[in-house]
Amino acid sequence: MGCNASKALGKRQGPGLRGLGAPADGVGDASAEEAARNVRVKLVLLGDSGVGKSCIVLRFVRGQFDTNSKVTVGAAFLSQTVALPEAPLTTVKFEIWDTAGQERYASLAPLYYRGASAAVVVYDITSPESFEKAKFWIKELQKHASPGIVIALVGNKSDLLGDRAVSREDAAALAEENSMALDIETSAKTAENVLELFQQLGTKLTSVPVGASTTVPEAREGAAAGSGSA
């Protein structure tokens, strides 16, 4: 995973969303409410190599920031459960596929975002090139991802404001043009807005009806998929 990439400061229901124990047809409102309190979400992270996708996931799942971690090869799988501030009885378990950003792995990405109910498209606020690549991934999701997928645009490395090369205005405009659910800046290094990112995604996801089911690819936490060298 590529945490060492941080600079020297070293509504339609998505098929990937399911309520655990979702009610059968005809079950009353009380059962539906209970089912909505335990939601499982398949989420995929997309973005250029070095933007800090793995760092965001590691910060969220393990509370760590590792400047020496390796670049992701293929994809890595991790999971974490959060409670929502506005609905503390509701928990969302994110089953996260962290994809490799290198060009040679781009063709593998659809394997991971197919059936996902949420996607996080990450760019580096100090890198205009990574922002352009984010636009590519947004278009890919719009063409090939599940209808109703919830997409967040994330500008990472907000701890490097002095090196900013992508303005908040440009990011906000991109998010608005593409009707994205969320536009936020994070710092995996300082943890700024990392938990908030997933809490806000959870709130967006649980605001639509729960009950559709898709099979989340079998994987053990921390496992990597794909082959080749970083």
CB–CB of 108/74 below 8 Å?
yes
Tokens of residue 6, six digits: 């941080």
CATH of the domain at 71: 3.40.50.300
Question: For every one of its 230 residues, what pLDDT tens digit does the chain have, with 9 covering 90 and above?
Answer: 556 544 433 333 343 444 333 333 333 344 555 545 789 999 999 999 999 999 999 999 999 997 765 555 457 899 999 999 988 889 999 999 998 755 556 677 788 888 999 999 999 999 999 999 999 999 999 999 999 999 999 999 999 999 999 999 999 999 999 999 999 999 999 999 999 999 999 999 998 654 433 334 444 455 444 433 33
Establish if 146 belongs to a structural domain. yes
Closest CA to 109 of 82, 80, 133: 133
Instruction: Name the one residue in this structure whose structure tokens are 């060298």.
Output: 229
Residue 125 belongs to what domain range? 3-208
Into how many domains does the chain fold? Answer: 1
Establish if 213 belongs to a structural domain. no
Establish if 51 belongs to a structural domain. yes
Establish if 216 belongs to a structural domain. no
Closest CA to 11 of 142, 145, 139, 147: 147
Establish if 215 belongs to a structural domain. no
Of the chain, the end-to-end C-alpha distance in Å amounts to 9
Establish if 170 belongs to a structural domain. yes
Establish if 100 belongs to a structural domain. yes
Establish if 221 belongs to a structural domain. no
Encode pLDDT of 169-206 as tens digits. 999 999 999 999 999 999 999 999 999 999 999 999 99
